[in-house]
Structures are given as C-alpha cells and as structure tokens.
C-alpha cells in the first residue's frame, strides 16, 4: 500500500506524483527497518565496494534494490544510482530520469546517527548516460529523506522548498505548514578539520578566521559541526543556517573533492538555492557544473549565501595576498 502524501500547498506535478509516491513508500519501509537497529539485522555490515571503491554496507545495497523495484511503472525510464556502475532502464516509455544516493551516510548506521536518501528527477533523453551528464538546470525536482528522530522528506519542484514528516501512526507523509528557508544569520560551520593540513590556503585562511572568534577578523565566535552525513548536515543548515565545506585537497583521490555531482551535489544545490542559500565548488556555482561521467566528484561548499560568497572571495584573492593573509592569521601552520 502506497503511503499517503498529505499536501497543504499546491499539488505535486501530476507526472511526478507516481515516482514521488514510490520513493515515499520505500523511505517509510527503510525508516521502520533502521529504527529497529540491530533487531533488523547487520545493516552496517560491509558487503563489498561500489564502482569508485567506496565500502558498501548491507543497507546501501538493500535500499538501492528497493528503490529500483518500487520505481517500476512510475514513468521513470532511466535509474542512475551511486551504488551501480551504469544507468539501468526501467519503463521504456517513461519520460523521467532519476538519480539517487539510496543511503547517504551509511558509515553512521551502527552509531545511530541520522542518515538519508538523496534524489533528483529530470526529463529522460534517448541516450541513458547523456541524460545525467547535464548541469543542474535540467532538474525538475530534487529532495532528500532523513531518517532520524523524525523521518522527513524535504523536496523542491523549483518553486521553493516543502517539508513532509512521516506520521508513524497513519503511515503517511504529512506536509508541515512552514516553508523551509535558510536563515540569513548563523554562527556554525561544518568541515572535517582533521584534513586541515591538506587544504588549499584559501580554505585554511577562511577556517582560521572562523576559529579566531571574536578576537579575529570576523569579530564573532563560531561553533564547528561535523556529522559525516550529507543529509544530516543539509537538514541542519536548512533549519539553522551556517555553512558546509567539503573542499578538494592534496590527498590522492581528493583533487576533485569527494562528493558526487550527479547523486549528491546537484540535488542538494538545487534545494539550497530554492531555500535562499548558495552552493558552489568554492569558486563556481554547482548548478552550472556539467558532470564528465556518471560518478564525477566535485568540491562542495553550501549554506547561508553571504558565508558561501566569503569563501569564494578568499579564492579570488591574488596568490600573494592570500599567502600573506594565511601567514598572518594561520593558527595551525602546516
């Protein structure tokens, strides 16, 4: 039985409704399974590697298979998943294409931290792979499910952001009356500071200025957050504002960042912009980026608009200026 999607705002576009309903059905099932923890089996067990060598958890594979099966007959012609090497076909006559990260943040399964599902929908082309090798302006919808104390769907159809919460009593997703919008002011940043020594000088200078607090050039104190779950980081920024940074760095395999453009960054950037924020590579708008292959990676910076703009401004400084800035303000000289 498909869970009810109770809407308080304009109806979901008719041609997208079957696919959204199927996604909600699987998300509700996953929410129940995840909530059982160890009683639901070894969901966090390693079961192999995906196409890029990332460890796959048992729940990664289960979620991928469940979404793929549920989307059959919903008008989705092409299905591209972070867990699959290539695009898979569903409905031959379908007009839609769906890209999905079936289980984001799966390294957190066993420690009971919020995880999620990220997806994006766009028109299907005859060439399966070429459908997904387009910039974010082709997207018709993007969203995520977050499996935490509440299971929620945050989604946009290109006219603002909408939020639905799973009602565990009725089994349906009920729309909340509030319209998510990223606050203009916030004092939080999210980054994995253990990689400080590998970052570029502009990123280190930006973080140094945040860490300097009220006595530094920013003139205010900041809090740092790092959950290692993109959905959880996004949900916090949607609620409280702030900035998330996953920059490129000097480690092998990280020169182009680590997050995937098709399955993670384009959908999240679409949502963030619809909520009044910005999303960039650090220097370039994410929605303008064209993936050169299905599993292309990119640096990712998003959140409150003025904070994202400040990161860009650090990259725009001439080398001699950012070197001097970093030399004067660096708190952790590498």
Q: Please state the residue numbers annotated as binding site for substrate.
A: 104-107, 192
DSSP 163-189: EEEEETTTTEEEEPSS-----S---EE
Q: How far apart are CA 273 and CA 116, in angstroms?
A: 20
Quote the CA–CA distance of 222 and 205 in Å, as a whole number. Answer: 15
| CA 169/CA 285 separation, integer angstroms | 41
- What is the rounded CA–CA span in Å between residue 134 and residue 261? 10
Annotated binding residues for Mg(2+), as ranges? 82, 101, 103-104, 264
- The annotation places the binding site at 82, 101, 103-107, 192, 264
Residue 12 CA to residue 79 CA, distance in Å, equals: 21
Q: Where are the beta strands (DSSP E) in the chain?
A: 5-6, 46-49, 55-57, 76-81, 88-89, 96-104, 115-123, 141-147, 151-156, 161-167, 172-175, 188-190, 223-225, 243-246, 259-260, 278-280, 297-298, 300-303
DSSP per residue, 197-232: GGS-HHHHHHHHHHHTGGGSTT-S--EEE--S-HHH
Pairwise CA distance, residues 66 & 205, whole Å? 44
């Amino acid at each position: 039985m498909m869970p009810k999607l109770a809407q308080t705002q304009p109806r979901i576009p008719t041609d997208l409704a079957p696919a959204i309903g199927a996604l909600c059905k699987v998300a509700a099932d996953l929410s129940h399974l995840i909530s059982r923890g160890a009683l639901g089996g070894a969901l966090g067990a390693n079961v192999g590697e995906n196409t890029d060598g990332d460890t796959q958890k048992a729940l990664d594979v289960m979620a991928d298979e469940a979404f793929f099966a549920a989307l059959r007959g919903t008008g989705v012609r092409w299905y591209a998943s972070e867990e699959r090497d290539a695009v898979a076909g569903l409905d031959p006559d379908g007009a839609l294409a769906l890209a999905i990260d079936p289980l984001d943040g799966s390294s957190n399964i066993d420690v009971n931290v919020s995880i999620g599902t990220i997806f994006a929908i766009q028109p299907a082309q005859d060439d399966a792979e070429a459908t997904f090798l387009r910039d974010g302006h082709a997207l018709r919808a993007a969203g995520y499910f977050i499996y935490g104390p509440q299971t929620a769907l945050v989604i946009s159809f290109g006219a603002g952001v909408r939020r639905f919460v799973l009602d565990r009593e009725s089994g349906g997703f009920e729309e909340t009356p509030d319209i998510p919008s990223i606050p203009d002011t916030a004092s939080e940043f999210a980054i994995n500071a253990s990689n400080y020594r590998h970052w570029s000088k502009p990123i280190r200078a930006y973080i140094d200025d945040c860490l300097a607090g009220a006595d530094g050039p920013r003139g205010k104190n900041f809090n740092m957050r790092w959950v290692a779950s993109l959905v959880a980081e996004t949900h916090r920024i949607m609620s409280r504002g702030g900035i998330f940074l996953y920059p490129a760095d000097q480690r092998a395999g990280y020169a182009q960042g680590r997050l995937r453009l098709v399955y993670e960054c384009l959908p999240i950037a679409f949502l963030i912009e619809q909520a009044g924020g910005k999303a960039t590579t650090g220097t370039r708008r994410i929605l303008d980026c064209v993936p050169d292959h299905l599993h292309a990676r990119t640096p990712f910076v998003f959140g409150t608009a003025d904070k994202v703009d400040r990161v860009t401004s650090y990259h725009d400084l001439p080398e001699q200026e950012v070197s001097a800035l970093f030399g004067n303000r660096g708190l952790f000289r590498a």
